[in-house]
Chain A
Amino acid sequence: MAFELEFEKPLLELERQISQMRRLAEERKLDVHDEIVPLEQKLGQLRVEIYGKLTPMQRVHVARHPRRPYTLDYIRNVFTDFVELRGDRLFRDDPAMVGGWARLHDRPVVVIGQQKGRDTKENLHRNFGMAHPEGYRKALRLMHMAERFHVPVITLIDTPGAYPGLGAEERGQAEAIARNLEEMAALKTIFVAAVIGEGGSGGALALGLADRVLMMENAIYSVISPEGCAAILWNDASLRERAADALRLTAYDLLDLGLIDEIVPEPPGGAHADPAAAQRNLGKALEQSIKHLESMKPEDLLHARWDKFLAMGKLAEA
């Protein structure tokens, strides 16, 4: 059975009605144009209505939607000329992290991101988009390559988090993330990050210390999953709605808090309803960001990146 979100049921029901009518019309050679047009209008309105008032937890579901475009979908459709490069040159290739050379509207760039799987088999291969240290080290290797050739780095962030397993700990998950943070803070090339789905904690930030940080409208970015937060604070993972509200993890929250630079609009009904539109929007936003950064003096770039992250935080002075 296809994956359905509870709050999307009215939409899916309407979609079914429309496609049924179309099929019927074709079979019996009927003209149903007059019947379909109002239904489609209604569908469009309903999408705007439902997606206009998503709760934070509903957004979490949209961000995790199994038909949402993933990193490689964006790479294949927004970029051209992609040449995937694999391995960290230290231990192995981590399929949860992908990256390589590509062109964004003819401009050569290095693009990197976590990759989730569409089905169980692919998810096991991709480890559900949860990278091991070698994934972060591969990402860093590619960032340094971009720096060497003076091309922009673009990262696409989509991960539940860095993998918390035996091998990951043994090979230094904390060290790998810490090193990426430090190296990104010193990276001497244009750097744009986009959270396209789940921005899961340190595993997401390990690709995110960028000149400009974008977020897709229905993406989330959080210090901990709502389930994890509810389990720790209230001993009950089912209280995730409450946790999702409290964590302030939507793109709008992050923009309010001054933690991201821009929200990339998604089509009504979310990126999974119209992946092509989402991809077009992200392509445009990335292009604009890079153009803007290219207009800055290279020596100012790094200082601006530092100042941006140094200003983050809210506190009081007694």
Chain B
Amino acid sequence: MAWFRKERKHSRSSRERLEIPADAWEKCAGCGHVGIRGQFDRNLQVCPECGHHRRISAGQYIEILTDPGSFTELYADLRSEDVLGFEGYADRIAIAQRKAGPQDAVITGFARMTEIEIDLAVMQFAFMGGSMGSVVGEKIARLARRSLEEHVPLVIVSTSGGARMQEGVLSLMQMAKTSVMIARLHEQGIPFISILTDPTTGGVSASFAMQGDVNIAEPGAVIGFAGPRVIKQTIGQDLPDGFQTAEFLLERGMVDIVVPRSELAATTARLLRMMLRREPQTVD
């Protein structure tokens, strides 16, 4: 049988092999594309091949959405407390604080977005799945009150698995609390733009995240009331492809617009300028 076997000649490139450390490569979870990490970094963690949006931190959103150096953090000293004595909660808080920073599952403050003053809240999934407890509710409510008093538009970037069950009904009531403030903004005609990112479900999607004058979703983001696992359990079958994605919600009429990460700031600012009856931004 050896007659068709051919000795493989190892082709050796004339160039010297580049020594690339293993962690310099990254793989896209959407399409499997492998690229140099810098490629993902430069592209705001969006896959250059398929457009898959990776989850990014609150800090990265603040960087993407606001004018450089314009963000001033507010209410950073609010801390979650294990008020119910819920088994394991104190430890979970400590771990989350080490992992995601002490400000809990949302960072709040004010900034400029292409020179427009905004109040900005960005949730962090890394802090206990972006769950909403008393601190998240209070920070959102205080920020919305600032918007109301200062007549500054409100922008909230959401990502959350829902209410934080370790705070029991206290966490459920944060849905009511934040809704009260959004209702008051609506009454006064102060713009509120909600940006929904992957994933936004449960008590957050069923309160302020769905209450924007405009609801913007990032491509591919999973958005819904119940999580996919719960629905699967309820109906006893697999979910259709693309169920509960941003595009699905757009088609069903639940979000206004799907905007890629690179255009979030520009689109939000364009809308705000019109809502505030400002001149369009002049492009040099």
Contacts and interface: CB of A to CB of B under 8 A. Distances in A.
Interface of A: 162-166, 168-175, 177-179, 181-186, 201-202, 205-206, 208-209, 221-224, 229, 232-233, 242, 246-249, 253-254, 257, 259, 305-306, 309-310, 312-318
A229 B231 contact: no
B187 A315 contact: no
Contacts, number: 193
Contacts of B33: none
Contacts of B205: 174, 178
Contacts of B83: 314
A259 B173 contact: yes
Nearest to A311: B177
A302 to B, nearest CB: 10
A68 to B, nearest CB: 20
Q: Which 9 pairs across A and B sit closest by C-beta, in order of nearness?
A: A164-B226, A313-B134, A181-B179, A185-B183, A178-B210, A173-B225, A174-B205, A174-B225, A177-B206
Contacts of B102: 318
15 contacts: A165-B235, A172-B252, A174-B205, A174-B225, A174-B254, A182-B182, A205-B175, A209-B179, A222-B168, A223-B167, A223-B203, A224-B163, A253-B168, A313-B138, A315-B78
B36 interface: no
Contacts of B13: none
A169 B224 contact: yes
B109 to A, nearest CB: 16
A173 to B, nearest CB: 4
B141 interface: yes
A181 B176 contact: yes
B88 interface: yes
B197 interface: no
Contact of A314 (B134, B211, B224, B243): B134
B78 A202 contact: no
Interface centre among B88, B138, B183, B205 (most CB of A within 10 A): B183
B275 interface: no
Contact of A223 (B77, B135, B171, B253): B171
Nearest to A181: B179
B79 interface: yes
B170 A185 contact: no
B79 A318 contact: yes
B231 A181 contact: no
Contacts of B244: 169
B182 A222 contact: no
A249 B184 CA distance: 29
Contacts of B34: none
Contact of B169 (A179, A186, A257): A257
B184 A306 contact: yes
A229 B77 CA distance: 29
Contacts of A309: 173, 176-177, 180
A247 to B, nearest CB: 5
Contacts of A166: 231, 235, 239-240, 243
B155 interface: no
Contacts of B171: 223
Contact of B252 (A171, A229, A249): A171
B168 A223 contact: yes
A236 to B, nearest CB: 13
B252 A170 contact: yes
B165 A229 contact: yes
B174 interface: yes
B231 A223 contact: no
